[in-house]
Amino acid sequence: MKYGNTTVASIPIALTEAWEEGKIKEGDTVVLAAFGSGFTWESAIIKW
């Protein structure tokens, strides 16, 4: 809604906003998943 179509930047934007709003705290486990054009996908699990 704020940014339009951000494609590859969607996850970093979402992570930054969640951290700034206090939704992610030190020690949390965060699961990331993304799907792109051509049936590409990627996922990661990170310890914040």
What are 39's two structure tokens? 């049936």
The predicted pLDDT at position 8 comes to 78
Per-position pLDDT tens, the chain of length 48: 788 888 778 889 999 999 999 999 999 999 998 888 788 888 999 999
Angle at 45 between CA 29 and CA 10, to 5 degrees: 100
Within a domain: residue 1? no
Helix, strand or coil, per DSSP, at residue 11? helix
Does some domain include residue 13?
Answer: yes
Give the integer Cα–Cα distance in Å for 45 and 39. 20
Domain count, the chain: 1
In a domain, 2, yes or no: no
The boundaries of the domain holding residue 16 are 7-47
What residues contact residue 27 under an 8 Å CB cut-off, 6+ apart? 47, 48
Euclidean distance between CA atoms 17 and 28, whole angstroms: 15
